[in-house]
Amino acid sequence: MSKTDIIPTNFIENIIVDDLNSGKHDKILTRFPPEPNGYLHIGHAKSLAINFGIKNKFGGTCYLRYDDTNPEKEEQEYVDSIKEDIKWLGHVWDKELYASDYFETMYQCAVLLIKKGLAFVCDYSDEEISKTRGSFNEPGVESKYRNRSVEENLKLFENMRKGLYEDGSRVLRAKIDMASPNMNMRDPVIYRILRSTHHRTKDKWVIYPMYDFAHPIEDAIEHITHSICTLEFEDHRPLYDWVVDNCEFDPKPRQIEFARLNIKNTIMSKRFLKKLVDDGFVEGWDDPRMPTISGMRNRGYPPEAINEFCERIGVAKANSEVEPSLLEFCIRENLNRTADRAMVVESPLLVTIENIGEDESFEFDIVDNPQDENSKTHKVVLKREIFIESSDFALVPPPKYHRLVEGGKTRLKGAYIIEHVKTILDCDGNVESLVCRYIPDSASGGENARIKVKATIQWVSKADAVDVELHNFESLLTDEVEGVKNFTDRLNQNSRQIIKGAKGEPFVLEGEENKRYQFMRSAYYKRAKKVDGVWQFYRIVSLKESYSLM
Ligand code: ATP
Ligand code: MG
């Protein structure tokens, strides 16, 4: 009888189901192992979705483990931001762990390798090591320090720990095979001397383990069953297994590689994202244009939409590039269901409705979100002076123009039909304002509601309108051009466009800060922040894929 009837949906889950059914494992343990050297980005969301997805699907365990073995680049700020981002995405880790807590165990593992004749202290410099490593076609040359005695190696390694040698003067190398076709197996460096204050262990250590040595030990200590990483590590797997075997760990974790997420025109490397921050090209790691989790949160992306995107792209064994439109699709789909609708006029044109008195007003109820059957409603108030979108009136209408024209009629969203009376031009002949009349009883359900009009336009009453500033974002990178390799040559100088002077209905300020809205006819926006008395709204995503600024 099979142990699990859970249906696997990708190759990693196939392996897990086999391992459960064969009895190799009763319980599945995964981990998410970020290096705290930057903020998480959308690629990490993918890795999180896989590791925590397995935990949830198979009733397993998933740890958050900081892979903090490289003190020069790691900081507490990053540790904190990583936690916040993971929580925001909705994942719950079972334990918070740090590789640096295992430094003593790692040291003892290295001593064990030395005692077994499987590691030696090498006095070569970095350059000498890479010079003697050989190439794909050529075997490497063995170090002249390779045959030091166990006793000498133990003494030297202990002295390395004690800080008796200078940074970079010696390393500990695994003794494997300088002729291996796999370059990673050619006596790789497993420890280096480095005086750098670690964000947790401070100055306790002056030697630090290398990733390829540390990572398998971390996994083995924690009894991780499936250590999921990206494809670049496929060639490192023999070394991973070598470390686990020779350091005599049992049970043994298994490394599985999948294709990393790449999105067109999207920087997906902490190192490069940090450069954008350090160079001041963006406002910070959470700039709304950044593909970081905090940037996307600031921009207004719903976490559920990011997870849905990760789900839809699936888990592949071969690298490929995903279009950003797929992520945008997931966001739109989410916001269409969840965002309240609001009227905001980007380029206001004043309309005086001459048959509404100065002190007269009409109230209407508008459904917040027509996609939600339990939606609330909110009030809009029609007064004598309103703003409509300039482009919703045409003095010389182009063909098939259905909105307001001279002598024509149109419906005000949620309210009455209005009829054009007069156009007031400025001295240059541009439209300055309009005079219209409303048609009584033409609101929904009224006697004149059936009068034919071809369009419904948005509006806000002048007296109640609130000032809003729209911030529209484009990709940080322009399209790839042949020959341009460096991403800094592809930076989009126009990635933030600001529209000032827009007018919104009061409803856009009624909800909580960070509330997401659909501004009818334009895009989804988030109420972001108030600067100099004016609320800034960030464009989350346009309403349609082909949207471009008018
Ligand atoms: P970066 O190059 O951006 O610094 P990294 O791989 O060095 O990325 P880590 O902090 O080591 O960053 O990553 C933590 C986990 O997230 C690792 O398991 C890594 O494989 C995974 N990961 C990182 N980038 C991606 C990506 N683009 N797609 C999928 N998984 C990723
Ligand atoms: Mg890394």
The verdict on whether 454 is a catalytic residue reads: no
Collapsing DSSP to helix, strand or coil, 487 comes out as helix
Active-site pick, 57, 192, 260, 274: 260
- Expressed as residue numbers, the domain containing 377 is 349-452
Amino acid, res. 40: L
Geometric angle at alpha carbon 514, from 511 and 520, rounded to 5°: 70
* Sign of the torsion formed by the C-alpha atoms of 258, 262, 268 and 269: positive
Please say if the pLDDT value at position 482 is more than 90.
no
Asked if the model's pLDDT at residue 548 lies above 80, the reply is no
Report which residue type is found at 107: Y
**Closest ligand to residue 64's CA:** 1
| Distance of CA 11 from the midpoint of ligand 1 (Å) | 19
The residue-averaged pLDDT of 473-496 equals: 88
Whether the CB-CB separation of 463 and 505 falls below 8 Å is answered with no
Q: Output the pLDDT for position 550.
A: 29
- Mutate-to-test residue for ligand 1 from 47, 54, 64, 224, highest number of ligand atoms within 8 A of CB: 47
Token pair 């409603």 in the structure block, residue:
377
Q: Let me know if residue 243 belongs to a domain.
A: no
Nearest CA owner, ligand 1 atom 4: 270
pLDDT in tens, 54-111: 999 999 999 999 999 999 999 999 999 999 999 999 999 999 999 999 999 999 999 9
Distance 167 CA to ligand 1 centre (A): 28
pLDDT(1) > 60 = no
User: Measured between alpha carbons, how far is 522 from 343 in angstroms, rounded to an integer?
Assistant: 10
Residue 372 belongs to a domain: yes
Does a structural domain hold residue 443? yes
Give CA 19 to chain center in angstroms.
32
pLDDT of residue 2: 55
> Given pLDDT bands bounded at 50, 70 and 90, which one contains residue 487?
confident
pLDDT recorded at residue 546: 52
Element (H, E) at 154: helix 150-162
Per-residue pLDDT averaged across 373-380, rounded?
96
* Per-state percent for the chain, helix, strand, coil, to nearest 5: 30, 25, 45
Ligand nearest to the CA of 79: 1
Q: What is the pLDDT of residues 335-366, one digit of tens each?
A: 999 999 999 999 999 999 999 999 999 999 99
Q: What is the structure's pLDDT at 547?
A: 38
Tell me which residue of 2, 242, 10, 204 sits closest to 107, measured CA to CA. Answer: 204
Q: Which ligand is nearest to the CA of 66?
A: 1
Say if residues 304 and 49 touch (Cβ distance below 8 Å).
Answer: no
- 292 neighbors 286 (Cβ within 8 angstroms): yes
Q: Could you tell me which of 243, 230, 241 has the C-alpha nearest to residue 189?
A: 243
**Which residue among the candidates 31, 237, 270, 289 is catalytic per the annotation?**
270
pLDDT at 488: 85
Q: How far is the CA of 386 from the centre of ligand 2 (A)?
A: 56
What string of DSSP letters covers 312-331? HH---SS---B-HHHHHHHH
Establish whether 270 is a catalytic residue.
yes
Q: For residue 414, is it within any domain?
A: yes
Contact at 8 Å (CB) between 485 and 442?
A: no
Q: Whose CA is nearest to atom 1 of ligand 1?
A: 269
pLDDT above 90 for 410: yes
Centre of ligand 1 from the C-alpha of residue 237, in Å: 17
Mean confidence (pLDDT) of the chain: 96
**Residues with beta carbon inside 6 Å of ligand 1?**
33-35, 43-44, 46-47, 229-230, 260-261, 268-270
Q: Residue 422 maps to which CATH number?
A: 2.40.240.10
Residue 538 scores a pLDDT above 70: yes
- The ligand whose atoms approach the alpha carbon of 269 most closely is 1
Alpha-carbon distance 45 to 78, whole Å?
A: 16
Structurally, how many domains does the chain consist of? 1
Structural domain contains residue 46: no
What whole-number distance in Å separates Cα of residue 513 and Cα of residue 530? 10
138-171: pLDDT as tens digits: 999 999 999 999 999 999 999 999 999 999 999 9
Please tell me the distance from the alpha carbon of residue 447 to that of residue 28, in angstroms, as a whole number.
67
For 465, residues 6+ apart whose C-beta sits below 8 A from its C-beta are: 345, 348, 387, 503, 504, 505, 506
Which of the 8 DSSP states describes residue 8?
Answer: P
In a domain, 534, yes or no: no
For residue 183, what is the DSSP state? G
> Residue 322: its pLDDT value, please?
95
Q: Say if CB 32 and CB 86 are below 8 A apart.
A: yes
How confident is the model over 511-523, as pLDDT tens digits?
A: 898 999 999 989 9
Q: Are 264 and 235 in contact (CB under 8 A)?
A: no
CB proximity list for 166: less than 8 A, separation 6 or greater: 193
pLDDT above 90 (res 549): no
- Give CA–CA dist 246/176, Å, rounded: 11
Q: Are the C-beta atoms of 93 and 86 separated by less than 8 Å?
A: yes
Residue 137 near residue 113 (C-beta atoms within 8 A): no
- For 255-311, how does the pLDDT look when each residue is reduced to its tens digit (9 = 90+)? 999 999 999 999 999 999 999 999 999 999 999 999 999 999 999 999 999 999 999
d(CA 276, CA 27): 42
Q: Is 459 within the bounds of a domain? A: no
Query: What would the two tokens of residue 229 be?
Result: 């990483």
Concerning whether 148 is annotated as a catalytic residue, the answer is: no
Closest CA to 116 of 248, 16, 270: 248
Tokens 């994942």 -> residue: 91
Q: So what's the pLDDT on residue 481?
A: 81
Angle at 424 between CA 421 and CA 426, to 5 degrees: 170
CA of 273, closest atom in ligand 1: 3
CA of 44 to the centre of ligand 1 (A): 6
Cβ atoms of residues 467 and 461 within 8 Å: no
Distance from the alpha carbon of residue 268 to the mean position of ligand 1, in angstroms: 9
Percent of the chain with pLDDT over 70: 99
**Residue minimizing CA distance to atom 26 of ligand 1:** 43
Q: Identify whether 374 is part of a domain.
A: yes
Confidence of residue 371 (pLDDT cuts 50, 70, 90): very high
Tell the residue nearest (CA) to atom 9 of ligand 1.
34
The residue type of 422 is: K
